[in-house]
Amino acid sequence: MPDSIYNVSVTPAPTASSVSQPPTAPSEAEMWDIVEHHLVRYGGRFTPRLIERAKGSYLYDRQGRKILDFTSGQMCATLGHNHPDIVQAIHKACEDVLHLFSGMLSPSVVELAHSLCQILPPNLQKALFLNTGSEANEAALRMAKLHTGGFEVVGLSASWHGMTAGASASTFVSARKGYGPTIPGNLALPTPNCYRCPIRHCQDQCDMACLEIGFDLVDSQSVGAYAAVIAEPVLSAGGVVVPPEGYFQRLQAYCQERGMLLILDEAQTAFGRLGSFFAFEQLGMVPDILTLSKTLGGGLPLAATVTSDAIETDCYEKGFIYYTSHVSDPMPAEVGLAVLRVLTNQNLADRAATMGAYLKNGLLKLKDRYEAIGDVRGRGLLLGVELVKDRTTREPDPETGAAITRRCLELGLSMNITALPGMGSVWRIAPPLTVTQAELDEGLAILEQAIRDCL
């Protein structure tokens, strides 16, 4: 008689003596062999350290070596790594509810909407909670197109808005070539980079001719179906470019003249990093749609698209849909609530302004000592350091920048460098908002040692 009605042999239950011991953890070499054989390389080579744990401003590899993190993970861990309030929020969500049918709401989502909108102006009171900055921008672009009836989207030439279809079509700084046509209707304005004028017109003091000329070109290419302009208050991946004072007010006026919405992508600038809760508070204007991510989740996947009651109502009546498996997810919403509480209770925006000024001063001192540093710029705790071969010609020096970055890691400092044709070679320095003065001093000392070793 067969062992079962399906004629499949049945393996006897293991006895205590036959159970093998748990396998030992793979060695470092074995781990990297697995990486080499089984992981897709999605952005160049992986950093040659396997990170086993993280706490505060530090990462620790498998050998226990300590690495000071000057990038806050992927610019996300604004409260530092494994902040106890975030850990507690995750535990609470695990005990309550992690995931629901997308049409259902949890108390954490409702409370997050209330808490977020309390700190936003009256015309930004409708929030949609998603997972990534790409998604938040995707939703914002869909709303803008539905509301205006147009489809043309204007971005800045050094922009980074994400990797999904609509967001990547509005991303001009990199990652465009080789993937076929993007969504139709995407146009670019020159980035107002005072250090590298995109129209070779001025130097170190932008008069916004690039904006005027840019819109002349955009208008000449438009088919009359404008929907939106999407822009970062500080262009991070594009080299930590800070547009001049008054730029966004004038940009908003151009939008209003053309019936376009202005979308501000504050993935990397919101929730204290620039020294205020939101970057638009420093710009003297309020966008039609605000997109948030990274900093809202404190390292977990949480993003938001926020707009006015009028725009939301119009889109709803026109049948707006943005239905994903993880829209309004309870667990990240619980974390978002914790992030907002910590940011508010500990006045971390003010702390970012103070620590940012201290760090910038230290970087400017390095600039005084080393000719390779051509420019130091940024706001709060989002700073950029541009490396050049010659301060007069401002020729970028990506090779030296990469060498110093590698040496920093060897010495225990994680740095992020952007090296793009025509954009320069720029360190993006963004420590957690909880970073201490002693940690900043440590990072500056390591950076100087690495510069000395490589020059």
| Catalytic residue, candidates 377, 379, 407, 428 | 428
Is 55 catalytic? The answer is no
Is 428 catalytic? The answer is yes
| Catalytic residue, candidates 265, 329, 397, 439 | 265
The domain locations on the chain are: 84-345, 347-427
| Catalytic residue, candidates 196, 268, 397, 427 | 268
Q: What is the predicted pLDDT for the residue at 2?
A: 41
Q: What distance, in Å, lies between the first and last C-alpha atoms of the chain?
A: 80
Pick the CATH number of 84-345 from 3.40.50.1820, 3.30.565.10, 3.40.640.10, 3.30.465.10: 3.40.640.10
* Model pLDDT for residues 69-95, shown as the tens digit of each residue: 999 999 999 999 999 999 999 999 999
Q: What is the mean pLDDT of the chain?
A: 93
The dotted CATH code for 347-427 is: 3.90.1150.10
Q: What is the predicted pLDDT for the residue at 5?
A: 34
| Catalytic residue, candidates 273, 294, 377, 407 | 294
pLDDT for 22 beyond 80: no
Q: What is the predicted pLDDT for the residue at 43?
A: 86
Of 120, 35, 53, nearest to 306 by C-alpha is 120
* Model pLDDT for residues 207-249, shown as the tens digit of each residue: 999 999 999 999 999 999 999 999 999 999 999 999 999 999 9
Structure tokens at 426: 């720029």
Q: What is the predicted pLDDT for the residue at 6?
A: 34
d(CA 455, CA 452): 6
pLDDT for 34 beyond 80: yes
Question: What global pTM score does this model have?
Answer: 0.93
Is 442 catalytic? The answer is no
- Of all residues in the chain, what percent carry a pLDDT higher than 70? 95
| Catalytic residue, candidates 69, 135, 138, 232 | 232
pLDDT for 420 beyond 80: no
Is 196 catalytic? The answer is no
pLDDT band for 21, please (50, 70, 90 cuts). Answer: low
Residue 61 phi/psi, 5° resolution?
-85, -175
Is 203 catalytic? The answer is no
Is 294 catalytic? The answer is yes
Cα dist from 256 to 165, 223, 228, 368, 377, whole Å: 26, 17, 10, 44, 30
* Model pLDDT for residues 422-438, shown as the tens digit of each residue: 667 999 999 999 999 99
Structure tokens at 343: 């940011």
